[in-house]
Amino acid sequence: MSLGTRFDSGGTLVSEESPTREAVSGGLVALAFASFILGVLSLFQYLPVDTTVAGFTVSTLLGGGLTLVGAGTVTLGLASYAGRFETSPGHTGGIASAVFIGLLWFAVGGLVAAQTLGLSTLWPVVALFSGALGAGVALVAREDLGVTLSAGLFVLLSGLVVVTGVVGPGWRWDPNGFSIVATGTVGVPVIALFAGLVGAWVAARVYGGFGAQGRQTGAYVLVGTNAAGMLALLVAVVSFIVVRGWAPMTEGVRYGLYWGPVTWFNPPVLDTWVIVEGPILWFYWPFVMEGYGLNIPIDGVLPAIAGTFWLVVGAIVFAVPLGVGAAVFLTEYAEQGRFTFLVEISTNGLWSTPSIVYGLFGLAFLVPRLGNTPSLLSGQLVLGFMLLPLVVITSRESLKSVPDEYRDASAALGVSRWETIKSVVLPAAMPGVVTGVILGVGRIAGETAPILLVTTSSPFSADVAGVIQGGFSFVGSFPFVTVPTLDLVQSSNALPYQLFAIIGAGLGENLDFAWGTALVLLLVVMSFYAVGIASRVYFRRKLNA
């Protein structure tokens, strides 16, 4: 934002501060958040609703907290309406808030009418009526009265329902037409989640003193919670996999340092063996150094790691030259026109094409032509097709960001276009290109669907696919050397497929192996992302400095 100053708090513009209102409503926001978080914990059964904490059941705590929040906000709203506090309420609660509150009351009215009162055909009428009532109060009454009454009463009602045990640990609800049965262990936390958020929102509006400032505070509370939720989701997923997968992944790791012969040779003159000794580090990590088989003590995922490695290398070799070339042509050679429009549409189209469609295409087009067997080569090409649009898009962005002065200066020296691109433009754009490639590789390394169709054949493999065959040696006949050959037309395992195959084979006894595989896969993919993001931050800082 270019405007340097910001009105950081309501206090600078809104006439007077009222410490009582801010203290009480701030406390209510905290209490509502506490209910929300306790709701999350009890939903996932870390603290089931019937456990006792500090002498109360979790259910009672949630209900009591919500009742307090609801009663508190309603009281504050009434006090503000009676003029006890200095606030600046608008003459209406606002349309967006009214719609939101109307939806809440619509749900409450509908549930009560259909499930508690048992109205089978009439419930939509009741639901619409209560929804309209909630929205109407928020819309018509002055903001401090309307919003706190309609939303605060919702929180109060939710709290009372839970604290009185109407929806308690023993509650049971079999919704008509759905194949689930809800019980108190889920119902109470879900109510707490919703009511807690609504309570935090209303209390934050009171905290901001209603009006424009109040709406901003209320909205920021919700948007901020959403962002925090995304962070929490990432941390939860990653740490969950680390916790479950760490033990199976590191099972049987041994390492040591010993003194032993490093190398030995037989010099022609001495006619005796010279042995050089030294410290040797010995390291054995079975999970990533072994395959999966009967005579292997600790099953590992080495074949899958090797397969993923070859797939990624092949995709890069295929896609990066094509993608960077296309980006150079589009930014440096082509005039904007129908051709570039077509290329743009197809690049973005390829970007959004589902991975399973790539797999189908590979199955129909590549596999019959490349040895008629699932093969690494087909997988490399298909993943290359998927990587291509990512490389084109990111390389183009970074080529565009190279300033025109660079090109002009080079052209003024009489350097030809290709020389300019080769020695000026491409080096300047290289960081962006590399970052884009790394991030793209992170994405395709985790792809399962295409390789499932074109590369893999057996779910558990004991041996690494022998891609490099033969070695480098001198021979007596022409051309006097043999070089290792690449055999890419053979099926192979890969990390994401390994995980899929375990799930498909049944998780029972292989559950630990699955968690370990998930952790290795996550580490491989996440390290690509971490390196890509870090290098982007680094180069951006360097550019700005």
Partner 1 sequence: MSTATRFAGLDDRSLVVGGVGSVILAVTLLSFIVAPALTGYLALAFAAFVLVSAVIDEEHTVGFLLFVTTTSTVLILAFITVYLVWNAVPVAREMGLYLLVGSDPFWDTGPNVYSLVPMMWGTLVTTLIATLVAAPLGVAGAVFISEIAPGWAREIVKPAVEMLAGIPSIVYGFIGVTILNTFMQQELSLPTFGSLFVTGVVVGVMALPTVVSVAEDAIAAVPDPMRDGAQALGATDWQTTTSVTLPAAFSGISAAVLLGVGRAVGETMAATVILGNVTQLPDPLMDVFGNTITLTSLIASQYGAASGLQFSALFAAGVVLFLTVMALSVGSQLIERRMRRTLGGEP
Nearest to partner 1 of 31, 392 (CB atom):
392
Find the shortest distance in angstroms from Cβ 403 to partner 1: 20
Residue 268 phi/psi, 5° resolution?
-60, -35
Structure tokens, 191: 């109510």
Rounded to whole angstroms, what are the CA distances from 375 to 85, 306, 360, 389, 539? Answer: 74, 14, 14, 23, 38
Of residues 450-489, which lie at the interface with partner 1 (CB under 8 A)?
452-453
Site for partner 1 in 54-73 (CB under 8 A): none
Query: Binder to partner 1 among 109, 152, 436, 442 (CB under 8 A)?
Result: 442
Scan residues 405-424 and list those touching partner 1 (CB under 8 A).
416-418
Strands 182-183 and 172-173: antiparallel
Number of residues interacting with partner 1: please give it, by CB under 8 A.
108
- Return the number of the residue (82 or 247) whose C-beta is nearest partner 1: 247
Q: Which ranges in 208-295 belong to alpha helices (H)?
A: 211-250, 286-289
Q: 3-state SS string over 492-534?
A: CCCHHHHHHHHHHHCCCCCHHHHHHHHHHHHHHHHHHHHHHHH
The region of 58-66, 274-282, 444-452, 463-471 touching partner 1 under the rule CB under 8 A is 444-452
Shortest spacing between CB 342 and partner 1, in angstroms: 6
Q: Draw the binding track, 216-235, toward partner 1 (x: CB under 8 A; -: no contact).
A: x--xx-xxx-xx-xxx-xx-
Stretch that binds partner 1, among 123-131, 195-203, 251-259, 517-525 (CB under 8 A): 517-525
Look up residue 126 and give its two tokens: 């009741």
Nearer to partner 1 by Cβ, of 181 and 275: the residue is 181
Which residue, 72 or 303, has its beta carbon nearer to partner 1? 303
Smallest separation, CB 273 to partner 1 (Å): 48
Binding to partner 1 (CB under 8 A) within 348-407 occurs at: 348-361, 363-365, 369-370, 385, 388-389, 392
Q: Does 343 bind partner 1 (CB under 8 A)?
A: yes
Segment interacting with partner 1 (CB under 8 A) among 52-60, 146-154, 214-222, 273-281: 214-222
**Alpha helices, H only, 251-301:** 286-289
Tokens 């019937």, located at residue: 50
Whole-angstrom distance, CA of residue 26 vs CA of residue 340: 56
The b-or-e profile of 219-228 (16+ CB within 10 A means b, else e) is bebeeebeee
Rounded least distance, CB 392 to partner 1, Å:
6
Q: Which of 163, 192, 249, 518 binds partner 1 (CB under 8 A)?
A: 518
In the complex, the smallest distance separating the C-beta of residue 297 from partner 1, rounded to whole angstroms, is 25
Please provide residue 455's backbone torsions phi and psi, each rounded to the nearest 5 degrees: -115, -40
User: Closest Cα to residue 451, out of 465, 439, 437?
Assistant: 465
Burial readout 290-322 (b: 16 or more C-beta within 10 A, e: otherwise): bbbeeeeebbbbbbbbbbbbbbbebbbebbbee
Instruction: Name the residue nearer to partner 1 (CB basis): 107 or 182.
Output: 182
What residues from 172 to 201 belong to the interface with partner 1 (CB under 8 A)?
A: 177-183, 185-186
Q: Smallest distance, Å, CB 31 to partner 1?
A: 23
Residue of 329, 424, 431, 462 interacting with partner 1 (CB under 8 A): 329
Q: Sign of torsion, CA 235 237 242 243? A: positive
Identity of the residue numbered 402 = V
- Considering the complex, what minimum distance in angstroms separates the CB of residue 272 from partner 1? 51
- CA-closest candidate to residue 435, choices 508, 340, 334, 535: 535
How many residues are listed for the chain in this entry? Answer: 545
**Residue 46 touches partner 1, criterion: CB under 8 A:** no
Stretch that binds partner 1, among 133-141, 194-202, 406-414, 520-528 (CB under 8 A): 520-528
Nearer to partner 1, 111 or 212 (CB): 212
CB of 536 to partner 1, least distance (A): 9
Stretch that binds partner 1, among 19-27, 213-221, 250-258, 269-277 (CB under 8 A): 213-221
How many CA atoms, within 13 angstroms, populate the side-chain half-sphere of residue 470? 11
Residues 116-175 that bind partner 1 (CB under 8 A): none
CB of 348 or CB of 482, closer to partner 1: 348
For residue 366, the number of C-alpha atoms closer than 13 Å in the C-beta half-sphere is 24
- For partner 1, the closer of residues 400 and 417 by Cβ is 417
- Residue 3 near partner 1 by CB under 8 A: yes
d(CA 440, CA 525): 10
128 burial type by CB count under 10 A (0-12 exposed, 13-18 middle, 19+ buried)? middle
Segment 286 to 325, residues that bind partner 1, using CB under 8 A: 321-325
- The interface with partner 1 within residues 489-508 (CB under 8 A) comprises 496, 499-500, 503-504, 507
